[in-house]
Every structure is written in structure tokens, then in C-alpha cells.
Structure 1
Amino acid sequence: MADETEEEVDQEAMMAEWEAMADEDGDDDDDVFDNADEGPGGTRVLDQSEIDSLLGVDSNVDEGGDQSGIQAILNSALVSYERLPMLDIVFDRLVRMMSTSLRNFTSDNVEVSLDNITSARFGDYLNSIPLPAMLTVFKAEEWDNYGLMTVDSAMIYSIVDVLLGGRRGTAAMRIEGRPYTTIERNLIQRLAHVVLADLSSAFDPLSPVTFRFDRLETNPRFATIARHENAAIVITLRVDMEDRGGRIELLIPYATLEPVRELLLQMFMGEKFGRDSIWEGHLTAELWQTDVAIQAVLEQVNLSLGDVMNWEVGSTLDLSVSPESLVELRCGDVSMFKGNMGRKSGNIAIKIANKIVRDDGG
């Protein structure tokens, strides 16, 4: 018992000594945490604004502002659409074509504008779709992949109101708590065909492609066309029909655009990445006018140097050729043709019989 009491006393003395040393070291840091809240055990507690800044969900930052914290780290792997500058030209062309097509489709004054082009993860985009909405899944036939078009509820009821003769100046009626009717689905399907036809025409100058309507969904879970972590391009189009309108969003995964990625990297239409067609034409014309020396070789015999040194005046070299043997025509060290030797206009001539095909290693 006495030994246990002595050990407890020694431990209490040691703890008291450590606390005294900690107090001395912490005197210099007291002024740093004077204004900070302290939790249990003297640890500093972050307030809500600091937590939001750390997570990158600061409400004071605009949507178009720079992201920070964990959110910036998570989004750093996304590919920016600005690395594909040709997309701006394609979708500017789409806006002009849609303005005309939708005017013919609705017989109303329609204005289409491009709100923005952004990059997002496919899963994040599905979670951000405001319901109710209609999602059109379409397929790029030549690229063998899919895309997604979302029509929001305001656009749906505006199209239904316009096509079924709704009066101007009256806000589109929106009925909550019921699924879309067959008439509404058919009208939006017709709208999707119009938009997809214009999207195909917008890509035609760059690369001919056909966007085919695949299916119409109202539940985002059934419109999954890519992995949730895959990057995609989201194009937001604003459609105004005087006092009515809504938004149409196009989502195209980067995997869908991969077959034409090289074309989308161009800064302007027709760019050839350093190739100069004028110089190519000039070089071709000069090559056609170039003089080339051709040698006619009757036969080739391999002899040792000793035999050659023994040659004298009058020595005879036997060639295993006949008058009917083919003569080989060479340009430098390259064998090009074989032909028959003859005479024309007092000159020795070669009539080409066949062309020598070189292998890849020749």
C-alpha cells in the first residue's frame, strides 16, 4: 500500500510540473487566440463563415466567382470548355438557327439567347435539375454516344400554351402534383426534334453528325447516360416568347465529343494546325519540274578485291544476261523500274516493263 501511495504522489507531482511548463509556453500565444472561441479542452472552434470558406460553399460568393476550399479541389479535375474554342462558334450558330426554327414551329415571336457554357460532373448536374422537367436522351449516330436535353417546367407550359392557342398576356398555368399528360409529352417531343435537327446542322460545317431522338424521361434516374463522376459540357439556352418562355439545357459528355476533339481545338474554322496549303502547292509544282538522273544497270556482279586487282588490259568480265534480259533502272540507290533495252532514233532506249514495288523496310 505504501508503494502505491508513493507512486500516486510522484505522478501527481509530475503532472503539476508539466502543467506549469505548458502555462509558461502558452503565455506568448494568448494574444493570438484572445478573440477566438475556445471549446472544451482549450481547442479553437471555427465559426460558420470559416467552415463555409473551408468547404467552398460561401453564400457570399457569386455563382460565377472563383471557388475555394475543398470545392475548388474537387472541381480542379474538370476540363474547362474553353479548351475547346470551336464550341462557341457551333453554339452561336445553333442560337441563330433555333430562333428561326422555333418561330416557324410556334408561329410566334421567339428570341433564343445563349446564357452560358459550363463544365460539370454528370452526377452533379442530375442532382441540380429543378423538377418537374422533361429530359430528352438523344444519340449522336456518327460518334456512337449519347447526350441529354432538359426542358424546364416554365418552357414546357409555355410551349403547350402557345401551340394550343393560349391568349397573350396570360401567365402559363402550372399545375403541381400531377404527371405530364400525353399531349404535353408529344408537344415537347416535337420541340426536341426541332432542336436536335438544328443541333445537327450547327455541327455540319465542323463534322457531319446526326443527333437522333432516343427517348423522353421525367425522372432523372432513368436518363443516366454516363457515369456520375464523368465530366460534361452544359449549354444553357434562354427562350423568350414575349411574355412567356423558359430554359433549354443541353448536356454533352466529353466522351461524346472525343471523336471530334481535334476539330474542336481549332481557334477558327478550317485551321490546319501549322499546315500551309499555299506552300504545299508551290512545293508540289516544283517537284514535278525537278530533273532526276536515272541509271540503267545491265547486271551487277560481286567480286573480291583480289580479283579486281588482277585485272589487266583485255580481261573479260562475264555477265549472265541475254538480249531478252530486263534492265534495272535506278535513281541513286533506289531501284524503280525494269525494262527491255532497245534502240530508238539512233539512241539506246529502255522500254519500261514493270515497276519495282518496295517493301516498308526498303
Structure 2
Amino acid sequence: MRCVLLTGLLAASAAATAGIRVEAYGVTAAGQPVEKVVLENARGMKLAYIDYGATLVQADVAGRNGQRRNIILSLPDLAAFERTRGRYGAIIGRYAGRIANGRYTLDGKTVQLPVNSKGVAIHGDPAPWEKRVWQRQDFADKDSLGSIYRLHSADGDQGFPGAMAVSVTYRLLRRRDEFRIEYQATTSAPTVHNFTNHVYFNLAGAAANTLDSHRFQIDADRYLETGTLRIPTGAMPQVQGTPFDFRRAAGVSERLAAVQGYDHSLLFSKPAGAYAQVAVIRDRASGRRMIVSTSEPSVQFYTVNGFDGTEVGSEGVAYQRYGAFAFETQHLPDSPNHAVFPSTALYPAQVFRSRTSFSFASD
């Protein structure tokens, strides 16, 4: 009887983890091994990521003819990820976006962060999370499969006070073409934070190198005004009558010149803190459609303005300017210096939780 039970348990365990494949991906220059996880659901959608930077590297999504194609831009190997400053598909923290002068005050205490050559703190530089190997725990349950990535960010890491315990879960649903990113964090001292994933998409395929056939519908009624160095002025004007109005589906190609490429914060219309659908993005050429839902209040919408063809992607094609987009759900840049912005403060008694989902269909 014990033998039968053991066999049954092993069979159940194998069935539960079916759809999760782990591969060696390489060793960092510092000697740390990195693995790649490939998930596949019952419908044939694949999602893949690596331990380095907890970085998304692949999402195979079906078009109108049923053909699946990878829509996530990535690099060919670990050495390329170590070299790049492109932040492809990586988790950004402790603070995604800019903080003016690298300085903020919380509860009467002023904190000075490291700054770049322009005097701005951005994306956790010069010791960003995307350049670290995260600890991973794979899982499978009845409805989903995926991994939980964990990182200990010590007190003083990147200049921020408080030791922070961070977890990021990548979850692929078994019976739907949908993946989710779930964030959780605690801190040992009052601090500020802003997490996002810096994944680049092209729904026509990662190597398509154009957004001409894309249409964006974004439920955002305000945008963040910025001044020099893209530092927020504090104003949040209405999008009506501006190139930032995507409340009705529109392309970006004809608007790019007016804004010198999109790298702007759009504020969602949904109630504060609510988890809701915020965008539908379609590629008319392939028929692929991406629906985004989030609990975050805004998105940094970016049309890879900095790409110049010098980096070759995993498809063997050089990535070009305006050839993809990032849809980085998050809080606003420089929030600690603007009392009217949604707060990014975190205290020891609190647990921060956030989630964003990307669901796919075809027309």
C-alpha cells in the first residue's frame, strides 16, 4: 500500500510541475551560476526568464492564424545582459524613475542618494537590481505555474534607508494566455520605493523593429509634466488635446516627432489602489492583442528612443529606435518630492503588494 501511495504522490508531483523546464544559462563574470526557466501552459503559451536581474526573456503569443511568436525583446546570452545598460525585461528597484538631485525628505529626515553625471538618481544606479542574481523558488498549483524571486536589499543599499525584503512572482496561467507579475516588500525602517519591470514588447514579433501597425488604447486622463532632465514640475495636466491622449485607440508613429519619442508618465483614470484593466494594445498586422491590468496608479510609456542599432537581439536582428515599447506600470517619478503624487513611502508595519497582468488574445 505504501508503495502505491508513493507512486501516486510522485505521479501527482510530476503532473503538477509539468510545464516548468529549468536550463543552465551561464555563469556571471563574478562566478555566479544563472538558470533560465521556461514555462508552458496547456494552450501552448511559453514564458521564460533568467535569474540575472529576474529578467523576462520570452513570451510566445498566438496571432490571428494561431502562429505563436516571441514578443519580448531580449539579448542572446548572459554576457550581453551583463554588458547592456538597456535593462531588458529586468526588475527595477529600489526606485524606478528619476529623483531630482538624488534627494528627498521623509518624516523630516533628508536622504541623499547617488546621482548620475546629470545630478539625477535613476533606476537604482549605480548598483541596480538588474545586475544582481536573484534567488528563485519554482512553484506549480492548480491554476498557474511560475517562480518566486527574492532579493535582500540591505540597509543603505543604493543609498536608501531600511533593510528591504523583496519578492517578485512570475505566474503563467494554465488555461489562459496570461502572465502576471506580483510584487511584495517589507522594510526595517521608513523608506521610499517604486518597483517595475522594464520589459520591451513588439506584438508583431521581437524582431519587427517598427510600431507602425500598433494601436494603443490607454485609460489615462492625465499625464505628468516634466521640465529639464525629465524631472516632474508637479503639474498633472489633462491629456485631452495632447499627444498623450490614448483614451481612444491611436497609433504612435505619427506622434513621435511631436514628443521626441515617448518617455512619459500617464496617470490612469481608475480609483486609487484599485486593480483594473488600464490598456488594450493591438497589432493590426498579426492580430495580437495585449490587455494590461494593474493595481499601480500610472505607467511609464516608452518607445525605446535610445535604441540605435548597436545591440543585436536574441533573434539576430539589431534593435532600432522606435522599434518596440515599454509599458512600465509603477508609481510616479520623483514622488517623494511631491506631496500631491501617490505616496511611495513604506514603513516597518506595512507590507507593500502590487500586481500587473498581461493577457493575450487575437483578432
Q: State the TM-score, normalized to the length of structure 1.
A: 0.21
Task: Choose 1 or 2 for highest CA Rg.
Answer: 1
- Which structure's residues are more often strand, by fraction? 2
- Which structure's residues are more often helix, by fraction? 1
Q: State the TM-score, normalized to the length of structure 2.
A: 0.21
